[in-house]
Structure 1
Amino acid sequence: MPDPALTPDEAGAPIETTYRPSEHVDVRATLRPLSRGSDDPAFRVVGGALWRAVRAPTGPATLRLESTTDGIRAHAWGPGADWVVEAVPEMLGRGDDWSGLDVADNAFLRDARHRLPGLRLTRTNQVVQMLVPAVLEQKVTSREAWRAWRDLVRRHGEPAPGPAPDGLVVPPDAAGWRRIPSWEWHRAGVGPQRSDTVMRVCAVAPSLERTLALGRGGPEVERRLRSIPGIGVWTAAETMQRAHGDADSPSVGDYHLPALVGWALIGRPVDDDGMLELLEPWRGHRERVMRLISASGFSKPKFGPRMTIQDHRFH
């Protein structure tokens, strides 16, 4: 559990805490899904420290995390610092129980689990902040989506508070996303279909945040997310993985993931149905298996056959 937090003084001293998990936590591997590309303006790794610019419910905040011999040291600045510090344990995997995941019969997963003992599933407790970038990633390449995210956050966010690295920017809140004019979305390469979806998401932001009270994802959370036009199974899964810490929400409809899973587990590519069939023995832990594969550094052969895109992200 964290130590009692210190109150920041008028000069802007940080709130500090040390999180001492009962098991080893790999900070970078656990929080890697929160990074939207190598030049994400809200995510930075500098030396041994990981920095995040966070739009907390109580305001903007900067979070700095660093692993030490005493635990994981957290510093936070800004109006949202208290909230961010309180969120650190779940952000770093508290409540994410891997004890029921048995990968003994699969050599690849067994080796990955052995090499990644500190991997956890994050739970950020921020639905809209995870949902907006997922919408931007619908039906475009990661490179296009990350460029749009970078451009929009830099133009419409605000500098991260405290002694943050140069260029670290806090993303807009729901009201801020809604204020972005149509020509700015166009300038960032985001078409009306995606920008309209973001508008619909932000219009019901409070109700979406209330899904966190339902636990770590699941069918009811997915149903509520998908009740918004433009939010499909892929977008809901990508959001629940990061916001709720859902351990069983594989991203169906992703162009690359089925082939990656197939090559990793059986040495050949598969489609979405084949991916779900391969993951079925680990139902309840399917996102943990996906994270083991992606965090392992494995990549599918470049000479593999091309696959038809089966994109369910709007359906």
Structure 2
Amino acid sequence: MLERTWRPRGPVDVLATLSVHQRGPSDPAFQIDARGRVWRTCRPGGDPATVCIARAAGGEVTATAWGPGAAAALDAVPRWLGAEDDVAGFAPEHPVLAEAFHRFPGTVIGRTGLVMEALVAAILEQKVTGTEAYRGWMRLLRKFGEPAPGPTPARMRVIPPADLWAKIPSWDYHQAGVGPQRSRTIVTAGRHVAQLEATVGLGSAEADRRLRAIPGIGVWTSAEVRQRVFGDADAVSVGDYGLPHAVAYALTGSRRGSDELMLELLEPYRGHRHRACVLLLRAGATPPRRGPRAPVRDYRGM
């Protein structure tokens, strides 16, 4: 067991910043306990670790870690919590966005450097409901992940090693409810893991180019990965089902949006367009639902 205490240079909302890595309420790799502490498993440098992160008195953040990757994970905690985030140049003038910026001063964009973790999760979320994606993530981790080190909440697992994703049989993806297109993309990404992991030191633009060179990875998936892995405050999730409508509703009052309209509305915040989206969503500026929810599909009987 290793421990670290860190004092952020400004306000940080620990739960909001880290919760972007949680894939559903039953995520085996991410849990929030009754005391509000975040439990997160990871593989920094390839070694498994569990980290427990909590806000302490006086604005400090305490982190405790277990496992072979504990030291590397603790070193990364400040980056996870936005230590390298730079809000300079972000000066929202729209009343809704300006109010959200004022109401949520702890909103920061963290970076993990954990490419395969974010990439697999994003691929699982391609063109399916959240329920389907979370179910697949949970089943794959429970079968192929290893038990989390340390005194964790029940049934927590560590994401499989990067190269293992390419070796998971198609039948096991099928049993997890993951369709063939998404499973092929994960397998292909697993075969290029060394190239992808190398992007961490090359910057978001080069990461975007390399990610999108892999069949099955497009603009949306690349943005979702770069937001989490590189802390890219400008990576907009173009192609998202609900985001264009949320941005349009917040900034124009229109219930219907499009990618084109969203990008036009966000253009004044270039360099911080993802940050603007995060703030608008935190403020709850989303249009009311008017239609039925998308059905949850199950491939296992097919």
Counterpart Cα distance in 2 of 1:305 and 1:257: 18
Matching of residue 96 in structure 1 with residue 85 in structure 2: yes
Match of 1:29 in 2: 16
Q: Deviations over 1:256-294 (max 9, x none)?
A: 110011111111121110000000010110010011112
Counterpart Cα distance in 1 of 2:25 and 2:183: 23
Change (3 A) 1:285 1:255: same
Q: Deviations over 1:63-101 (max 9, x none)?
A: 000001241000000011011001111110011111311
> Which segments of 5 or more consecutive residues in structure 1 lack a partner in the other structure?
1-13, 307-315
After TM superposition, list the pairs within 5 Å mapping 1:143-182 onto structure 2. 143-182=131-170
CA contact (8 A) 2:28 2:157 kept: yes
Match of 1:298 in 2: 285
Match of 2:6 in 1: 19
One of 253, 262, 281 as aligned partner of 2:268: 281
The letter of the residue matching 1:253 is G
Identity %: 50
The letter of the residue matching 2:18 is L
Matching of residue 126 in structure 1 with residue 114 in structure 2: yes
One of 243, 267, 273 as aligned partner of 2:253: 267
Give the Å deviation of 1:304.
Answer: 8.0
> Which segments of 5 or more consecutive residues in structure 2 lack a partner in the other structure?
294-302
After TM superposition, list the pairs within 5 Å mapping 1:1-315 onto structure 2. 14-46=1-33, 47-70=35-58, 71-103=60-92, 105-215=93-203, 217-218=204-205, 220-268=206-254, 269-303=256-290
Secondary structure of the equivalent of 2:11? coil
C-alpha RMSD of the superposition: 1.5
Secondary structure of the equivalent of 1:53? strand
CA contact (8 A) 2:84 2:110 kept: no
Give the Å deviation of 1:32.
Answer: 1.6
Counterpart Cα distance in 1 of 2:54 and 2:285: 26
Give the Å deviation of 1:177.
Answer: 1.5
The letter of the residue matching 2:76 is A
The letter of the residue matching 1:290 is C
Give the Å deviation of 1:298.
Answer: 3.1
Counterpart Cα distance in 2 of 1:209 and 1:59: 14
Aligned residue-pair number: 290
Secondary structure of the equivalent of 1:143? helix
TM-score normalised to the size of structure 1? 0.89
The letter of the residue matching 2:207 is V
Give the Å deviation of 1:250.
Answer: 0.5
CA contact (8 A) 1:58 1:83 kept: no
Match of 1:7 in 2: none
Counterpart Cα distance in 1 of 2:290 and 2:199: 43
Counterpart Cα distance in 2 of 1:74 and 1:61: 12
CA contact (8 A) 1:53 1:61 kept: yes
Give the Å deviation of 1:143.
Answer: 1.1
Secondary structure of the equivalent of 1:57? helix
Give the Å deviation of 1:178.
Answer: 2.1
